C-alpha cells in the first residue's frame, strides 16, 4: 500500500520545465518514426513540432516538408499510400525510415536543442503542479510558459478550422483570416485578410471549395513560417512566472 502511495506521488510530482520539454520532444520524434495517415496529418504534426521547438525549426522547413511529394510519401505509414502519391518512385520501407531519421537528425534535433538552450537561459526551471513527466500529453503548458502556450493554442485552433465544417461564406473567411493573423502576432502581411477574402484569390478558391491539398500547401508556404516566427519571438520575450498567471478562455490542454 505504501509503495502504491509513493508511486502516485511520483506520478503527480512537480516536474521541471526542461525535463518536461525534453519528454515532449521525444514524443514528437516518436510520432514521426511511426508515420502518418495523410499529408494533412503531417502538416498538423509539423506545427506541433514547431511549438515544442518554441519556434526554432527553420521557417522554410514546412514548405520543404509538405510540398515535396517524395518526402511526404516517406512520412506516410502505409506503403499503399506512398505508392498512390509517388507511383513507381515511392520510397521503400527502408528509404522511408532513412528519410524520417534524416528529418530528426537535420531538423528536429538541432531545433529542439536550441529550444532547451533558450528555456535554460531565460530562467530557473519552472514547475507544473499537474502531472509528471510520464504524461507529457497532459502537461498544462509548453515549457511551463502559459502565454507561449496560449499562442500555440490560438494557432492550432486556426489551423484546424478550415478542415472541419469549412469556410462557407465570406464572413467565415474574414473571421478565419483574422484569427490566423492574430495568431501570427504581426508576422503576416497587414493585407493578409483582404488577400484571403478576395474572390479571385487562390486562398478564397481553396477555402470555398475545401481543397485540402491546396490549403495544406499554402499554409506550409505562407502561414506556418509566420507562426513559427511568432513563437520564436514569444519565447525570447517570455519573462513570465509559471502556471496561474494566464488563464485561457479555452482548454489549455493537448495539441493533437
- Within a domain: residue 12? yes
- Within a domain: residue 194? yes
pLDDT at residue 12, rounded to an integer: 39
The pLDDT tens digits for 102-125 are: 999 999 999 999 998 888 776 554
The pLDDT tens digits for 54-99 are: 999 999 999 999 999 999 999 999 999 999 999 999 999 999 999 9
Report the predicted TM-score, pTM, of the whole model to 2 decimal places: 0.81
- Within a domain: residue 1? no
Using a pLDDT cut of 90, give the percent of the chain over it. Answer: 62
Residue 128, pLDDT above cutoff 50: no
The set of cell numbers assigned to 229 is 516566427
- Within a domain: residue 33? yes
Q: Which domain holds residue 137?
A: 7-245
- Within a domain: residue 217? yes
Domain count, the chain: 1
Q: Across the chain, where does the E strand assignment appear?
A: 15-16, 127-128
pLDDT at residue 141, rounded to an integer: 52
Contact yes or no for 242/144 (Cβ under 8 A)? yes
Contact yes or no for 221/67 (Cβ under 8 A)? yes
The set of cell numbers assigned to 232 is 520564436
Phi, psi for residue 255 in degrees, rounded to 5? -120, 110
- Within a domain: residue 236? yes
- Within a domain: residue 2? no
Amino acid at each position: 500500500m505504501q509503495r502504491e502511495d509513493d508511486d502516485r506521488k511520483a506520478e503527480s510530482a512537480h516536474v521541471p520545465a526542461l525535463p518536461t520539454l525534453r519528454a515532449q520532444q521525444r514524443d514528437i520524434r516518436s510520432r514521426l518514426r511511426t508515420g502518418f495517415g495523410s499529408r494533412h496529418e503531417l502538416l498538423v504534426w509539423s506545427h506541433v513540432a514547431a511549438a515544442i521547438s518554441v519556434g526554432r525549426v527553420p521557417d522554410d522547413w514546412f514548405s520543404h516538408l509538405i510540398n515535396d511529394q517524395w518526402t511526404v510519401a516517406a512520412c506516410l505509414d502505409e506503403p499503399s499510400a506512398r505508392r498512390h502519391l509517388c507511383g513507381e518512385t515511392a520510397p521503400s520501407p527502408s528509404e522511408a525510415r532513412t528519410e524520417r531519421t534524416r528529418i530528426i537528425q537535420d531538423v528536429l534535433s538541432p531545433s529542439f536543442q536550441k529550444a532547451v538552450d533558450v528555456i535554460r537561459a531565460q530562467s530557473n526551471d519552472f514547475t507544473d503542479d499537474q502531472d509528471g513527466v510520464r504524461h507529457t500529453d497532459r502537461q498544462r503548458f509548453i515549457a511551463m510558459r502559459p502565454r507561449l502556450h496560449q499562442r500555440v493554442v490560438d494557432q492550432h485552433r486556426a489551423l484546424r478550422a478550415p478542415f472541419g465544417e469549412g469556410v462557407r461564406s465570406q464572413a467565415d473567411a474574414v473571421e478565419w483570416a483574422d484569427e490566423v493573423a492574430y495568431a501570427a502576432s504581426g508576422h503576416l502581411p497587414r493585407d493578409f485578410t483582404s488577400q484571403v477574402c478576395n474572390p479571385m484569390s487562390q486562398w478564397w478558391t481553396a477555402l470555398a471549395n475545401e481543397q485540402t491539398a491546396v490549403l495544406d500547401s499554402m499554409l506550409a508556404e505562407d502561414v506556418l513560417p509566420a507562426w513559427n516566427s511568432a513563437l520564436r519571438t514569444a519565447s525570447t520575450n517570455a519573462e513570465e512566472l509559471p502556471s496561474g498567471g494566464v488563464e485561457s478562455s479555452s482548454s489549455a490542454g493537448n495539441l493533437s
